[in-house]
Structure 1
Amino acid sequence: MHKFIHVMLLLCFMSLSHALAQRKSENKKAQQYYENSLKNLQTHRYEAAIDFLNKSIAEDPTFATAYQQLGDIYRSQRLFDQAIPNYREVLRLDADLTPLTDFGLGEALLHTGQYSDAIPYFERYLNTNISEKSKNLVNKYLADCRFALDNTQASPIKLIKLPPSINTQYDEYFPQLTADQHTIIFTRKENNQENFYESHLSNEKDWSEAQKLIGQVNSDNFNEGAHCISPDGKYLFFTGCNRPSGYGSCDIYISKKENGKWSIPTNLGAPINTRGWEAQPAISADGKTLYFVSNRAGGFGGNDIWKSELGEDGKWKVPINLGKNINTPYDESSPYIHADNKTLYFSSNGWPGYGGQDLFMSKTDTTGQWAIPTNLGKPINNHHNQTAVHVNMNGSIGFFSTQDSASRQLDIYEFELSKDIKPAPVAYIAGTVLDAENKQPVVARVSVTDTDNQKVVFEDRSDFQDGMFIATLPIGRNYAVHVQAEGYLFDSRQYDLTDTQLANEKFTTEILLAHIKTGNTIQLNNIYFDTNKSDILPASKSDLSLLLDFLKTNPTVIIEVGGHTDNTGTKELNKTLSEKRAQSVTHYLLQNGIERFRITSKGYGDQLPVADNESEEGKQLNRRTEIKIIDQKKK
């Protein structure tokens, strides 16, 4: 990409020089210095070119062409403050030298936040004989100026620069936070080499001295950056460029944290990576959707944001462009999909903003369509480039990188999100799956099902090293959480998050999986009945399906279905009700192909409580359906 920019700038300089060939200086020394500057431009020696142009101007202060060339070089290096006086000098000395003076001055003023001053120059340039592509760019710049002038009021958001333990004299950018909010991983560019660093939070306020990631994810010969991290902090998706295993100039790779070290990266391969440019991955909290940036064919122009879904076979599907409500003819970059799975943050220089790259937010509606993006506004965005933003799991704190006005280096800042740019509230489970007998980690499939529509909203596996998993739960729904592993009884839990006050809650749980052994039990926490009735409600389907699959997978297992109630009502009524409910579950299993001899049912009423009946929470725990293994032999 940098080589491409240098080539384009060189062509621009050479084209301009050719057009101005007749505007030579009468001072031979000044003209010679000018021609020497052109020779240095051909080999990208910009500092030398600037030096010769300054010498040329010193010899001939009326040499407008030298001022124009000097302004163009400064502008190409984003030294807009230095470009402006040179363009103004061109207009003073020779206003008809080239229409590009108006464009260059307008762009430099835009990128220094002088929006009202920039507009007349853009409008004048628009009225010259320019291409359709140039007209589109100027109109985009005019839209930026007008947007900025209409949105001068900054929100009361306070930007806090992260400490020197993270921000140094080098560029730091692409911050990513783990779900527990105690580790930040970012990219640092040091001596033109990009590597990953991490810092840990202690005492809820102090970030440790950042260190390179341990393991084999960083390299000495290649650049690594533009990454995302899975909520559990175990998987790192990142951009690797010009590697031997690459498909194109930059590809997306993945590395796993094992025994505290990051593994050798693996190229994600086709269809994610192509012979083009793929970068800046963002993985959804459920691990099923990968967002990334690409310049592949089929986009809207420039770099677009695409997504790929993970198939049932564990392979990534053909990527889909996010469409015109996200992508523009210019560049979109740095996608970040929040844990609510419907709020996308990204950077763009195509949507109206304050100049350069701004940060935006878009949300999907009920049909899955993306809304027109919202500019995050001041003080987050300004006339500098804002490259990436990350929002923590509970949606309260954001981290982003932006340029310092004085040093021009990128640093990482923290801010509190205002209500209008917050994602949907979520809660999450931080769980550990262990063997009930020896307390060793168990690799188990963890799934979360919305009991209202039976949609699986999360699916993952617990880590083989420590049994940990993190599952996100959007607020406002009731969920069944299931944990299954070969050779074990499954675990069924209920999380009722219909109360919006549970937003941003963290549920920590230890799940002890029992072996399939006579006498062991499973508690089904997502079997639902109407009050004082035994008809199974539709919301029970996820637990019933899980039980059915378990019995089919383990055909030698013989079970007892036990019904239990709280102590509301008489003992006789409770026993009768529990018997009928147990029979309803038995009937479901028989209807779905389980042999009669493998199932018995029994109602226990309120005889075997697992909690006290003094509170509604205790009563809810006592209203349950239990499955007991009574034998493992066919009869």
Structure 2
Amino acid sequence: NNRWDAPKKISKNINTKYNDAAASLSPDGKTLFLYSELGSGDIYTSTLDGNDWTEPKPLNKNINTAQFWETCASLSPDGKRLYFASNRDGGLGELDIWVSELDSHGQWGKAVNLGNKINTAGNEDSPFIHHDGVTLYFSSDGHPGMGNNDIFVSELKSGKWSKPENIGYPINLWEYDGFFTSSRDKKVGYYSTVKEGGLGGIDIYSIKFLEPKYKPKPPPPPPVVEKKKPVNKNYIDPSVEKVKQQKIYSLLRGKVIDESTATPLNATVTLVDNETGKVLSKIYSDPATGDFELVIPHGGNYGVTTESQGYLFNSINFSLPKFAEYQEIDTHIIMVKTEVGSKVVLRNIFFDVGKFNLKEQTIAEVKNLEQLLLDNPELKVQINGHTDNTGSPAANKDLSLKRANSVVEFLVSNGINKARLSAKGFGAERPIVSNDDESGGREINRRTEIEVVGLGDH
């Protein structure tokens, strides 16, 4: 009748007072791989003996380690390879996916890391090797994704794993998705997820595929936009000239330099009134020395954006009282090259407390990001959301992801291909400074970043 029976305890030999979890079942249905909290958290096996399961036994020391964590495993259809997750030494990140081969004596050999095509600096977990022996599904919070933890698929071709592909919507959503398994014909999948409408924290779902194999739609070609060469002529709005004469401004001056080499850069420095979106000044740094001077009026919320070819734009915010005294601010504007892994903070993105809708004063900043993507059609970025430590960790992570997604949604609504964008929420997990104080502490940790995750074929 296509309905699941009520669950029953599998066997008194399996269930213990510890946390016992069924990691996977062998293709012939006779060997159960289990995770147990005994020790540091290891993988055990139990075999079907008649109508009951035998007492679980731990896998050998090439799989289980004394000090590290082995979470789950999946056996290849020929029974000769075991794919499993572990945070042991020698990995590329936290949890990595490893493989061990069965030797001629029936013992599991030394585990080999699947490498940087599969594993990242984050967590790769819940591997499932399909019945075809070459399609690997796994979950990851390190690869660019739609949520905090997504499901990916990779194929073994000529002995090498292909670049993992995000399975995408409607499987992957904004929070956790993992432990994906597939039927032999790849028409039905089962996985765990956190989503609205569920019965608990993490629920099990099934999905039917219209095609026998997951085939992502190729993204449309990015728009080809001719790069505009800046005309090196300074622009100063008359209102800025007026406050300059009245001495009710601050003077920002310094150098624009490369982050790694401190080489002076030829750059465009733009002052925008965040309340109105109006450009008040556009000046150019000295090509030889990187020197610049910028007049910032008092009594407003202003964004200073610095741009140089081959670099991510730099973002600074100024909000000075209307009756502040004249002051000179000396600084170096540090420019980060546009390379995979590079990231910068967007200091002119604003949200109300506890909210995730973009405030009106944010529009100029996200327009800068939009222009960066138009000028660099090969660029793929991840929007990272961060909060301070006020509130619960779960709520902070949820809020930070929603804020990052708000930026993504704005860009998509303005014509940027969604395939070039991803969002990730870190909550309070990655503070820049101590959260002990508001000024110089929590206000700095509440931030939105852009991170380069793809550039051309990389």
Which has a greater percent of helix?
1
Q: TM-score range by the shorter chain?
A: 0.3 to 0.5
Higher strand share: 2
Q: Tell me the TM-score normalised to structure 1 length.
A: 0.34
Larger Rg: 1
